[in-house]
Amino acid sequence: MRTIKGPGVFLAQFAGDEAPFNSLKGLAGWAADKGFKGVQIPTWDRRVIDLEQAAESQGYVDEIKGTLDEHGLVVTDLASHLQGQLVALHPSFNLPADSFAPAKVHRDPKARQDWAVNQLFCAAKASRRFGLDRHTTFSGTLLWPYFYPYPQWPDGLISDGFDELARRWRPILDAFDQEGVDVCYEIHPTEDLHDGLTFEMFLERVDNHARCNIMYDPSHLVLQSIDYLAYIDHYHQRIKTFHVKDAEFRPTGKTGAYGGYQPWVRRAGRFRSPGDGEVDFGAIFSKLTGYGFDGWAVLEWECCLKNSEDGAAEGARFIRDHIIQVSDRAFDDFVKSGTDRSVNNEILGI
């Protein structure tokens, strides 16, 4: 067993256009003041990082590490959710998702996809320069408009969709493998990899690729009524990154899992600050520790009620209080009798 690292914080939800949130230096000072020890960097946000430069320049990467070190911080991992989304995107999302990419590739799905794939190649190289061995992203979605089987799916639609998803991601997984970095897909509604079965379908099609892994976020499982603790039992060998995000699911006589097109505060399933929802994080930290998870516990703060400053401060404390410092000895060593094979044989009557 190993002690989980933390607390870390995903900077995506806090970056903004006003100081201190408009630069890595400002965010680093803010995160350290809140009590965090690591930061997960959103690679699409040029206020925080220039991904292309990080892929090519060790000096640039060392500057970032130095900026963080001044505040007692390290990089937990790099994240490419927006770019990963664009690796595989159903045409119905073309216009809404254009904002994820530079203006030069807007309204040009092929150019946008090529840009996204190159971004992932850069992320693999940049991760290696940072000395990281895991990376978090989204799988993208070719099939989400068809998650409910009506109108009835044409024969082979789902299989063909997953075949194409695997075809697009296989070269990216190979590129990460060359850099010694795992790809951790956040299991998330609207992504083709949104539960255990869809992850298995994809994993089979990439030949159980060693770099194909999971970013575990229990909130997305709660909102699907998935047993988020049993999920760890099934997939702990593939869980390499971990978001601490809470949620609650409160179905009523009027709405349930689909949300009724309501704003977050009125949805049956909604995200909450850690400790304010229904996720049993004590059990999660126990399971991950027992299975030897050696990554970071990273706060992804999203809450429809609480303000972000309180959420960040409380989140850092929440994670710190839930990390289990692994014991270096068994609790009952004081009654240990030692090893004597002859005594064992006598006890067994052999």
Predicted confidence (pLDDT) per residue in 94-105, tens digit? 999 999 999 999
Paired strand residues for 214: 185, 239
Give the pairing type, strands 134-137 and 212-216. Answer: unpaired
Q: Residue range 157-185: average pLDDT?
A: 98
Query: For 306-323, what is each residue's pLDDT tens digit?
Result: 999 999 999 999 999 999
- If phi over 0 gives left and psi between -120 and 50 gives alpha, with beta otherwise, what is residue 342? alpha
Q: Residue range 89-96: average pLDDT?
A: 97
pLDDT of residue 338: 73
Quick one: CA dihedral 259, 264, 265, 271, positive or negative? positive
Percentage above 70 pLDDT, the chain: 98
Of 103, 116, 140, 138, nearest in space to 51 by CA: 116
Q: Which residue has the tokens 């006003």?
A: 18
Q: Domains in the chain, start-ordered, CATH in brackets? A: 5-348 (3.20.20.150)
What are all long-range contacts of 22-28, with beta carbons under 8 Å and residues at least 24 apart? 22/47, 23/47, 23/48, 24/48, 24/49, 24/64, 24/67, 24/68, 25/67, 28/67, 28/68, 28/70, 28/71, 28/73
250 CB neighbour count, 10 Å cutoff: 11
Q: Is the pLDDT of residue 347 over 90?
A: no
Distance CA 64, CA 39 (A): 12
Token pair in block for residue 2: 């190993």
Report the greatest alpha carbon distance in the chain: 80
Token pair in block for residue 171: 């070269």
Query: For 181-214, what is each residue's pLDDT tens digit?
Result: 999 999 999 999 999 999 999 999 999 999 999 9
Quick one: CA dihedral 239, 242, 245, 246, positive or negative? positive
pLDDT of residue 291: 98
Token pair in block for residue 342: 């002859």
Helix or strand run (H / E) with residue 11: none
98 CB neighbour count, 10 Å cutoff: 18
Question: Quick check: 68 and 41 in contact, CB under 8 A?
Answer: no
Token pair in block for residue 250: 């409160």
Q: Is the peptide bond before 20 cis (omega within 30 degrees of 0)?
A: yes
Paired strand residues for 212: 183
Looking at residue 37, its amino acid is K
Q: ∠ CA 206-12-133 to the nearest 5 degrees?
A: 40
pLDDT of residue 239: 98
Q: Is the pLDDT of residue 289 over 90?
A: yes
Percentage above 90 pLDDT, the chain: 93
Q: Is the pLDDT of residue 334 over 80?
A: no
Contact residues for 25 (Cβ-Cβ < 8 A; gap 6+) = 67
pLDDT of residue 335: 59
Distance CA 41, CA 97 (A): 20
217 CB neighbour count, 10 Å cutoff: 23
Token pair in block for residue 209: 């690729």
